[in-house]
Structure 1
Amino acid sequence: MVKNLKGVIEMSSKANHAKTAICGIINVTPDSFSDGGQFFAVEQALEQARKLIAEGASILDIGGESTRPGSNYVEIEEEIQRVVPVIEAIRRESDILISIDTWKSRVAEAALAAGANIVNDITGLMGDEKMADVVAKTSAQLVIMFNPVMARPQHPSSQIFPRFGFGQVFTEEEFTRFEKLSIEELMDTFFAKALVKAEEAGIDRQNIMLDPGIGFGLTKKENLLLLRDLEKLHQKGYPIFLGVSRKRFVINILEESGFEVNSETEAGFRNRDIASAHVTSIAVRQGVEVVRVHDVASHKMAVEIASAIRQAELAEHVDLKQYK
């Protein structure tokens, strides 16, 4: 299997008419917002990895620290102890691309040594000043996420999140200026600074993907605007890595429309994934290269349908038979 993001995208394009690649999530945290920590044990995480791969995942994203609202900081050694055994276990039986979801350079370094290929940094290289050098030194692939929580920590939508990073990245003057920017302008400013860091460290631009940070300290409207205008992000010349699975704004839309959203009920839990898959369809229609999801099976279906529509000119003139 091709062990880089560019390879997965090209492989998908040549073999499957530019189908979006699916990144399956494995949270090895006892307080995960999405799976309740049920995959905390290595064997359970490995079983989940097998399931996600069988359902169609091209990438697995391993995370050892929850970033949900109200979550707490995890010490570096603890995070390493959570993710490294899982990565090693998966790598012993699969060549699938593995992403380490961390903003800490030492965790990333340990994960890459254990067999990970990608660093998914929700702080966009700004949370740990050594991260860019680790990525450059190892020639790892990199996901740079726009993090509104870091760019405007006093915003009401940011207040419920934990603080990311070891220090203050922006000056008070910058914070004041950011308050006057639209969300699109703020994202552009954030990415510009992050990409300069990547370039100065010597990270190959072909190894970089951009994540618009859906759900991180954004209002409902801001989430929707960024999703509506993904093509503008594509214009920067980088592939998009998008995470919308089970995000709060999706659940809010369902709730306001009268759908069951209580995750303790079968219908509520299922509805969250169905709605998330609909967002994936919209993203695929806009050419997003990778979607990061919890329920691979439902998103795989969305990818197949949306890709077929997006690549309609490549379809064959098949005379469809009547269903029995």
Structure 2
Amino acid sequence: MMLHAKEAFRKMYSVAKSYCGGGFPASDAISAAYDLGRSLKPSRKASRHFVVPSKARSFTQCSLGGGSADQEIVIALGSNVGDRISTFDKALHMMKNSGISITRHSCLYETAPAYVTDQPRFLNSAVRGTTKLEPHELLKKLKEIEKDIGRTDGIRYGPRPIDLDILLYGNSQISTENLIVPHERIHERPFVLAPLVDLLGLSIDDGVEKSWHSLAKCSGGFFELWNKLGGESMIGTEGIKRVLPVGNRLLDWSERTLIMGVLNLTPDSFSDGGKFQEVEAAISQVKLLISEGADIIDIGAQSTRPFARRLSAEEELERLVPVLEAITEISDMEGKLLSVDTFYAEVAAEAVKRGVHIVNDVSGGQIDPKILEVVAELGVPYVAMHMRGDPSTMQSEQNLLYGNVCKEVASELYTRVRQAELSGIPLWRIIIDPGLGFSKNSKHNLEVIMGLESIRTEMGKMSLGASHVPVLLGPSRKRFLGEICNRANPIERDVATVAAATAGILNGANIVRFHNVGYGVDAAKALPQYGIYTDVRVCYECFNKSSSNGGAGNAGSPGNVSSAADSFSGLNLGKDDASSPTKNSAFHSAAAVIECKCGMPLCICEAPKPEPAPVKSTSIASSSAQSNPKPKKSSSNQQSAESSAKKSSTTSSSRSSSFLNLGLMSNDTNDKGLSEYEVTGEGLREAIKSGDIKAVKKLLSQGVDSNYCDKQGFTLLHLAALFNQTEIALVLMDNGANIQSKNGQGCFSLLF
């Protein structure tokens, strides 16, 4: 339809005026008409439709009102020139002084440049806040901040010291000459969507968040847009990394487990009190911790054991300062991080002044609330730990009352995180610690270790970003391990500490605190950190599906499928070794695992049932006495198989489910006799998954290659290790399997 430009504008003006009503001046209707005209331009890549104001807020300047009410907003931050972190800090400070109250921060992301790729990597984040500024006033303020920080006109998408964009403004849709909200390129930018979803909660009971998701123009809101780009499966790749700014570096804690070594300067600590009070002894211990592989040295001058006498800040500093000044002078500390274990603001400030990088507060800001504002001003990472009361009251009967310990720890810990954020500590500088041994009995401690992922998920219901921060776990030599192992002497609990740390790392701990650092480093190196030994995975396609519509196994939200830890949550945490694991136990029968159509071992997506394949003449013959054929796809056999799988998850298991029996490898092979497997690499793969050692031996004797790799790049040795088939792994090696072979991710197969 071709109309003269003026006639077209008159028609648009008439429509817009009828929408705006007679109470608005003509200039407002003209502005609305202009908005409508822009939305109808066929050349626009992402059209913005004019929406009736009574149904949704799609606004030009006419319908923004007087600006008297606070509007919730989201602002994106980006920088790839100069000291990027300092630039972000400066921008946040200037925003607060410009009529913007910041209430939430996303995590921090280092991202590859987009569009113009020949430039440095970016740091990206986003903040959520409130303002009385109207959209164009807000835009003007942000542009002034950019200019004050040093941004000048340059290449579009090129290098810049700071970039501040309005992503969302209330429930408004805005389309004017110089401002489009929601930002028109949100859907194609992972470096925008990752921070944005951090600012949202998985339980959408917030009216503003509901309206924001509706602006995404898809049923799953911004979560769906994020997952369409790859979602959590992208994090940790070269394209986008979630990082923690600490010292002069950006720490990607997803690369490996970090080990924090303990240095107690106290005379009364439960484990090593009185050993390292003298400067020389402390320096010697620090050198030992570093030589054993510690990434972080955590120095404490105040005992936090139950019922310990509280020192004043002055007394604590008297112990701490001489040792701290000596430690920062030794060459061994190069490249290492220092943490101070304190709940006093004064001690934190003095420690950071003397070279400390991290403040570790066991009270989460409850004993000395000033510590939060002080740490915000210091600009260092802050560990917020869960504790009720203080060390003198934390083990009281009242403080040990829990209905659901993981849910309550998550809720109370989130409160501390929110208080830290509101005090000015960005989420990207926060580490959480569930507080093993603090306001918890032995059963609570075990539930917390095995429920770290559920703690993350609970926090994610309130803020997805809070579920993405690093988790510090401190099981080292704690009393509950002594009770389990009957070890009264804390020094004798190092092996139990390794078991607890192993479970914690498998459940998502990123930093683990050890007295015996050598044990901790060895445990972390030997664990399945690179996707080989974990018992639950998510392929790219299944992650997207599970996040948007529940997926297979009700994977649900991104928070539920971002880790391999959920399957541990069903372990019996009591001391009855005869008890069986629940259906979520980590010790699934390999034969009962549903394989994803993607071929990735143990992906949580349920594959469509394949058509029954005819038995080939080359299949291994089975005798009636020894055979264990796979069930045919008849309805009766299918029901039987499902019943069997269900039964296997609820009946007794010969393997102990006690906490200390979390070995990665076992001799639990399934010696069922020969089954009908193709004499191919895939047939051998199926035999390994089923634990059918006789079939494995037979197939190898018939010439199947022991070094076969499946389509995901996994060798047979990887699969044997993955399914805890130690005997089969040994058989494969006896038949020429190369233990030095790597999988598709470049990782070795076995760590004996």
What's the TM-score bracket when you normalise by the shorter of the two chains?
Answer: 0.7 to 0.9
Q: Which structure 2 residues correspond to residues 227-266 of structure 1 after superposition, within 5 A?
A: 227-235=449-457, 236-255=467-486, 261-263=487-489
Larger RCO, structures 1/2 (Cα 8 Å, 6+ apart): 1
Alignment match, 1:30: 267
Bigger Cα displacement from structure 2, 178-187 vs 312-321? 312-321
**Counterpart secondary structure, 2:339:** strand
The 1-side partners of 2:374 and 2:391 are apart by: 23
1:171-216 superposed Cα distances (whole Å, 9 cap, x missing partner): xxxx89x957432232123223212211111111111110000111
The 2-side partners of 1:197 and 1:57 are apart by: 31
Contact preservation (8 Å) 2:407, 2:455: no
Q: Which structure 2 residues correspond to residues 136-175 of structure 1 after superposition, within 5 A?
A: 136-150=376-390, 153=393, 157-158=395-396
For structure 1, the residue ranges without an aligned partner over 5 or more in a row are: 160-174, 256-260
1:22 Cα offset (Å):
0.2
1:29 Cα offset (Å):
0.6
Alignment match, 2:204: none
The 1-side partners of 2:384 and 2:370 are apart by: 15
1:307 Cα offset (Å):
3.6
Equivalent of 1:76, from 282, 302, 313?
313
Alignment match, 2:503: 282
Within the alignment, does 1:304 sit opposite 2:525 as a pair? Answer: yes
Contact preservation (8 Å) 1:27, 1:62: yes
1:43 Cα offset (Å):
1.3
The 1-side partners of 2:509 and 2:284 are apart by: 28
Equivalent of 1:65, from 287, 291, 302?
302
Change (3 A) 1:217 1:191: closer
Equivalent of 1:107, from 338, 347, 352?
347
Instruction: Report how many residues are paired.
Output: 287
1:276 Cα offset (Å):
0.3
Contact preservation (8 Å) 2:338, 2:356: yes
The 1-side partners of 2:517 and 2:714 are apart by: 24
* Structure in which a larger fraction of residues adopt helix: 1
Equivalent of 1:119, from 330, 339, 359?
359
1:9 Cα offset (Å):
4.5
CA-based RMSD: 2.8
Contact preservation (8 Å) 2:417, 2:430: no
Contact preservation (8 Å) 2:362, 2:385: yes
The 2-side partners of 1:117 and 1:301 are apart by: 25
**Counterpart secondary structure, 2:329:** helix
The 2-side partners of 1:121 and 1:198 are apart by: 11
1:129 Cα offset (Å):
1.6
The 2-side partners of 1:299 and 1:220 are apart by: 21
Contact preservation (8 Å) 1:97, 1:117: yes
The 2-side partners of 1:314 and 1:33 are apart by: 48
The 2-side partners of 1:100 and 1:314 are apart by: 44
The 2-side partners of 1:44 and 1:8 are apart by: 32
Contact preservation (8 Å) 1:158, 1:216: no
1:84 Cα offset (Å):
1.7
The 2-side partners of 1:314 and 1:105 are apart by: 52
Amino acid at match of 2:473: L
1:57-114 superposed Cα distances (whole Å, 9 cap, x missing partner): 0000000011112311112111011112222211112232111100011111111111
Alignment match, 2:293: 56
The 1-side partners of 2:365 and 2:444 are apart by: 23
Amino acid at match of 1:293: F
Change (3 A) 1:306 1:28: same
1:148-174 superposed Cα distances (whole Å, 9 cap, x missing partner): 345995x8x336xxxxxxxxxxxxxxx
The 1-side partners of 2:447 and 2:387 are apart by: 16
The 2-side partners of 1:70 and 1:314 are apart by: 54
TM-score (norm 2): 0.36
1:3 Cα offset (Å):
7.1
Change (3 A) 1:65 1:152: closer
